[in-house]
Amino acid sequence: MRFLLLALCLSAIPAWAWDAARIQQQAATLPTAAQLKARALLQLVAQQREAAVERQLAAVNDFFNAQVAWRDDREVWGQVDYWASPLEMLAKGAGDCEDLAMGKYFALLGLGLPEASLRLVYVRAQYQGRVQAHMVLAWYAQPDAQPLILDNLDPALRRASERSDLAPVFSFNAQGLWQGGSAGGGAMQAAGNPLTRLTIWRDALARARAEGF
What pTM does this model have?
0.86
Q: Find the angle CA(8)-CA(176)-CA(38) to the nearest 5 degrees.
A: 100
Ordered structural domains, the chain, with CATH:
3-211 (3.10.620.30)
CB 8 within 8 A of CB 198: yes
Residues 125-147 pLDDT 10s:
999 899 999 999 999 999 889 99
To which H or E segment does residue 125 belong?
Answer: strand 118-127
Q: Give per-residue pLDDT as tens, 76-110.
A: 999 999 999 999 999 999 999 999 999 999 999 99
CA–CA–CA angle 197, 60, 182 (5° rounding): 50
DSSP state string for 6-60: EE-S-TTSPPP---HHHHHHHHTTS-HHHHHHHHHHHHHHHHHTTS-HHHHHHHH
162-166, 167-171, 177-181: lowest mean pLDDT where?
177-181
